[in-house]
Every structure is written in C-alpha cells, then in structure tokens.
Chains A and B, each alone.
Chain A
Amino acid sequence: MSELLQTTINTLAVGGLYALIALGYTLVYGILRFINFAHSDVVAWGGWLAFTVAGAAGWLAEDGAPVFAVVLVVIATMGLCAAIGVTIERLAYRPLRSAPRLNVLITAIGVSLFLQNVGLKLFGNRPRSISAGTALIRNNEPIAAFADVRILRFDVLPIVLSVALLIGLQWLVYRTRMGRGMRAVAFDERVASLMGVNVNRVVTLTFGLGSALAAVGGILFALRVDLQQTAEAAWVVLGLKAFVAAVVGGIGNVRGAAAGALLIAFVEVFVHTYIVKAFPGRLWIAQLQDIYVFGILILVLLFRPSGLLGKSSVEKV
C-alpha cells in the first residue's frame, strides 16, 4: 500500500514537470503549426539562468539568503526565458512565417544547435547542482512522511506549480481578450487578422508565455536531477517526452497537454515500476523504460492521430 502511494506521488511529480514543458510545445503548435525544436533548449537555459541569476545575487553560496530569493529567481528566469523565446521568434521564425513548414523546422533545429553551443560557452561544460549546498533551496526534505512514504518538497513543487499554471493558462486562453485572439489565430490566421487581431502580437505573446513556462520546467528539472550541460542529451530527451505528451494529448490543446503528460508519466514511472517487479530476473525488461514512451506515441498516432483530446480535422481542398 505504501509503495503504491509512493509510486503515485512520483508519477504525479513527473507528470507535472512534463506538463509544464508540453504546454510550450502545444501553444506554439496550436498557433503556428510547427514543432519548436528549440523549446527543449529554452528549458535548459531556464535551469542555467536560474543558477546564474542566483549566483550573481549571492544567494547560491551563503546560508542566509532570504525566503523571497526563490520567488525572485524564478520570476527573473521566467522573464529572461520569455525574452529569449520572443527574440528567437522575431529573428528566426518570423521571416519564415509563410515559408514551407520544413524550412521552419530546419531553422528550429539550427536555433536549437545555436542555443546548445552558446550555452556550452556561457555556462561551461561541467554539470552543476543548484540545490546541494546552497541556500537557494536548501534541502529536498520530506514535508510529510508516514509509514514508508516520503513526500518530498521537489515532488510537491511540480504538482502544485503545474496545476496552478494550468488553471492560469486556461483562464488566459478562454476568459481574456488576448486568449480570444490566440484562439482566433489558431483557427485561421488570415481571417483573424482581417477581424482586427494583431497576429504578430499574439505570436509574440505565445512564445513569451511558452518560454516562461519552459523556464519553470527547467528549474524544476534542475532541482530534481541537477543541471546537465546545455548540449546534454538529457534536455533533448526531456523535451522529446514533453513533446510526445503534447502530441498524445492532442497538440494545440491545453488540457490535452496535461492529460498527455500524466499518461506518459504514468507509463514511465508507474507501469515501469510494476513491470520490473513482475520480472525480477530479466535484466533487459528493466531497460525498456524509454521504449514504452515512444511506443505509446506511435500507437496513439496510428489509431487516433489527433491525440486523446484533440479534435480531428478534415483537410479541405
């Protein structure tokens, strides 16, 4: 029983993390219909910028950093990442707005390589840790423990943050004027601009929003598993899984991204734990973790290409 509970908490924590990153993919795809390959690098930069900002403010080394430091660092990082996202869109993607989608995709790969390698220069090529031995977020202590179950701070954080941000995003997209503009552009860019929606502003906002969420995702990931160097496959795989979550949930759909993220986390953590348990002697079964994720992607795409919560659309001639 306690193990079941622990596994569930782990699943939710991982799911929350994936959801935050998946939202960035889904927002951009919903509006511009292209996969922003550079998103995972913005996530990586989020982690590193938080580390840098905290270090520059002197909150990394000493013990007496104030409580509001955490909040300030997170907000500053969100702002910086939003600026990066907006700049990328303005410089690299906007000139290609009407180009074939393949070109935009290649450009995104180029931007991704650029961010990776500039990151290597700026932040160095040694992995770091934000949490250990720092005052920023001193300890990942259990905030509750009963029987054998430990509820850790860094497990609760992604769950709470992602739920809060999801609700906020839902409100933004469905209840505000800007959100209406976003939905209009997603529906038909040309008609929306004829109706007086400033398409460029909507796109800028979308990129800013997605990148700010990416920053949070990057910080949470870095807190959970350390800062890997920017060119490390860990970020790419993280981005890939978040993207898979977005596609599985129905890309372009905010709630879908969350549902997809939960499903992916469920398979990766929950199902994996019990499969390994069921076959104790089989070494290779324990190595299939990633295969489940991609397997789900392929299955969903084959049987329900528009995703779990996505609307299927018929292409008109």
Chain B
Amino acid sequence: MNLSAWVRHVPIAVAALALGLGGCGKKKDDNTIVVGHFASMTGPQATFGISTDNAIKLAIKERNAKGGVKGKQIVLKTIDDASKNTEAATAVTRLINDHGAVAVLGEVASGRSLAGAPIAQNAKIPMISPSSTDPSVTDVGDYIFRVCFLDDFQGWVGAKFARENLKAEKAAILYDQAEPYSSGLADYFGKAFEAMGGKVAARLSFNAANLEISSQLQTIKGAEPQIIYLPGYYNSVAPIIRKAREAGITAPFIGGDGWDSAELAKNAGDAINGNFFSNHYAPEEPRPEVKNFVEKYKAEFGATPDGLAALGYDAALVLFDAMDRAKSLSGPDLRDAIAATKNFTGVTGTFSIDDKRNAQKSAVVIEYKGGQQTMATRIEKK
C-alpha cells in the first residue's frame, strides 16, 4: 500500500469505526436496569476480575429469577480495564454514559478504584467497590462505597492473632515494596503489633518482579522471629514460603486476603501447612448464606469461590437491597439507600455501612492444614 492509499483509507476506516461505536451505545431499554462492572478481565490481574465478575453474574441471575428489582430485569455490563488505571477511568465513563448504568461495581485493586471513583462521583452515580481495601478509596466522595474491611483493620487482625492466639513476642515483616496493598498492610500490622506490646525484629521488603530474596531470608533467619508477617499476593507468597522453609526458617507466616487462591496451596506444596491468613470469609463456614453461595457457585463455575467472589456477590446483594429500599433509581436516591444499609447479612458476614461509607465487619483467620484451608478463628471488629 503506498502512502496516498494509506491517507485515503485511514480516515475512512476511522470514521466507519466511529460510526459503528456511536451506533452501539445508548441502547437503553425501559424494562431493564443496567448495572455496570469494571474489572480486570485481561492483563496480569485477570483472575481477580473474572472471579468477581462470575459472582456478580450469579447474584444477578438469582435476583432476576425472583423477578428482578422493582419489576424490572437487571442487566450486567462488564467492561474490561486490562488491569490499567487509565483504562479503568475510561471504563467507568463508558458504563455511565454509553450504557446508562444506574450504579457501578468495581474494582478489586485500590489503584483502579481510585481512578474510576472520581468519575462516578462527578456523575453522581453510586459506586460500590467489592474488595478495594485501601482506606482512601471511599474518601473520594459520598457516592463511593465498599463492602470489604479496610487495610488498617486487617493489619490489626493479623497483629491480634499473632499476639493473642499464637502468643508471639517477636515478629518479622516481609512485604512487597512495589505493591500498595502489601506495603499498606505491613505498616498497619507493624503499628498494631507494637501497640500490643510485641517487637518487630526485622522489617524487609521484596519486589514481586524480582524474587531474588535469599538475602532477605537470611536476615530474617538471623533475627529469629516467632512469626513472619507476609502480606502479598499468592503468586509471590508461594515461592517465598517455599524458599523460607528451604532456608531453614520454621516460624509460621501470617498473611492477608491476597493469599486467598487455590493456586497458593498447589504452588507452595507442603510448605504451606501451618501458616495463617486473614480473610473475608471461609468457604466451610456453616452459615446458610455461605453454604448456598458456595454450592451455587460451584455448580455454575466449577470451582470453590474465593474471597473476591464472595465480596463481589455481597456487593451486588447490597446494591439490590438498596435498590429495593430506594425511592427511585436516580443516583442521589440510590446513594442514600446504600448509605442507610444496616445489619445486612451477606456471605461475608453481617455488616453495616458506616458514615465513611465503609463496611463495619469482622474477619476470619484461616489456617492451612494438610494443604486445605481450615477456619482457625473469627476476629470481631475493634
């Protein structure tokens, strides 16, 4: 193709595509309610988005079978943000403007929630993040909610469990320096552990992109801690625990909800046993909500739902509950209804939305025994 042909064809192609796009937007049907979901369906953190999206689909399917909300069927529109902040902003813009979403669910990663939240806030469309634990997410504005607990609470849970259940005096902290989630938790854990009279003997960092951590492990070994706090995502946690055991470190590890994945036990092998992590729910809890959810999810998607799925499910349920109570489905009415959520019982426990639009709830601590997750204890809110 020579240059003139390029110049002739490119604008035509762009114009045609633009027309195509213009045509596919604004499909608003009066008999349905559109709920938007922005998630990382592709890219490095695709597993998070897919888990959450599956659970939301399940919640909507169940609800529609019961007749939907206010006599209308609910339609889910999911837009992929490819695990990127900029695309998250575009995704929320599109959900609200092109698809007419009355509310937006998302994201897992706090960074992307923070990128999407200002847009929802400006458009006065409520947004519920299922699992962004960074405290500043809901600070963005009064339309931004979440149904998970916060990092400071989770760090405190880890510290309380270490001090009271494991009777640890001396802890080491090993966190991922490039991961906001990890460095945040490490901070909160350290503060809480020291406030409870413990001592942080070593505080080290690693970079998930550079898992050469032999020098860190050696320092930890020298510090002789009774527990090691390792807040990270399961993909880096598995090799670290294995290498720590190989290096002769025997103290148990304690982690956060980033550990929650079936892959962790598979990838870490025997080394995973005897370690703990705090989580939103435990799949084998005997409560009826949990049983019902786990069964249906397994039947539909063939896997045990992880914490992210449970939170995605609860986020959708909180939204439907608010829709039922709201005077209308306009942004401000729906917002008020979500803010008034009290003692809501979902898969991840019973919780209320507080005046900072966060969920007040408890956490569970899970222990690995024989390669299986087993619930160790439940720790109530402070």
Contacts and interface: CB of A to CB of B under 8 A. Distances in A.
Check A-B contact in the complex, CB < 8 A. Answer: yes
Nearest to A150: B248
A132 B235 contact: no
Interface of B is mostly: helix
Contacts of A269: 212, 214-215
B208 interface: yes
Interface in A91-127: 120, 125-127
A228 B46 CA distance: 14
A276 interface: yes
Contact of A226 (B209, B215, B235): B235
Given A7-B218, A233-B44, 12 more contacts: A10-B218, A125-B47, A127-B235, A127-B263, A129-B238, A132-B267, A150-B248, A224-B211, A226-B238, A226-B239, A237-B207, A290-B207
Interface of B: 42-44, 46-47, 177, 202-205, 207-212, 214-216, 218-219, 222, 235, 238-239, 242-243, 246-248, 263, 266-271
A142 B243 CA distance: 12
Interface stretch (A29-37, A171-179, A281-289, A306-314): A281-289
Nearest to B261: A126
Given A234-B209, A289-B207, A289-B210, A140 B266 contact: no
A147 B38 CA distance: 54
Interface in A238-269: 238, 241, 268-269
A183 interface: no
B215 A10 contact: yes
Contacts of A238: 210
12 contacts: A10-B215, A127-B263, A128-B266, A131-B269, A132-B268, A133-B270, A140-B242, A152-B246, A276-B219, A283-B203, A286-B203, A286-B204
Given A150-B247, A225-B211, A126 B47 contact: yes
Contact of A276 (B177, B215, B263): B215
A125 B48 CA distance: 11
Contacts of A237: 207, 209-210
A287 B239 contact: no
Contact of B263 (A14, A128, A272): A128
Interface in A2-51: 3, 6-7, 10, 13-14
- Give the 10 A-B CB pairs with smallest separation, nearest first: A132-B269, A129-B267, A273-B215, A225-B211, A233-B209, A10-B214, A127-B235, A226-B239, A237-B209, A225-B239
Nearest to A153: B246
Given A150-B246, A273-B219, A290-B207, A129 B214 contact: no
Contacts of A233: 44, 208-209
B187 to A, nearest CB: 10
B211 A14 contact: no
Contacts of B46: 125
Chain A CB within 10 A, most for which of B211, B263, B266, B268: B211
A217 to B, nearest CB: 14
A272 B44 CA distance: 29
B44 A232 contact: yes
A132 B47 contact: no
Contact of B219 (A126, A132, A229, A277): A277
Contacts of A224: 211, 239, 243
Main secondary structure of the interface of A (DSSP, over half): helix
Nearest to B248: A150
B266 A132 contact: yes
A231 interface: yes
A66 B43 CA distance: 37
Nearest to B271: A132
Contacts of A129: 238-239, 242, 266-269
Contacts of A81: none
A148 B266 CA distance: 29
Contacts of A126: 47, 235, 263
B239 A133 contact: no
Nearest to A154: B246
A41 to B, nearest CB: 15
Contacts of A241: 210
A225 B268 CA distance: 10
A236 interface: yes
A19 to B, nearest CB: 14
Contacts of B247: 150
Nearest to A11: B214
Contacts of A290: 207, 210
Contacts of B43: 125, 231
A147 B75 CA distance: 65
Contact of B218 (A3, A13, A127, A231): A3
A234 B44 contact: no
Contacts of A229: 44, 235
A132 B242 contact: yes
Nearest to A236: B209
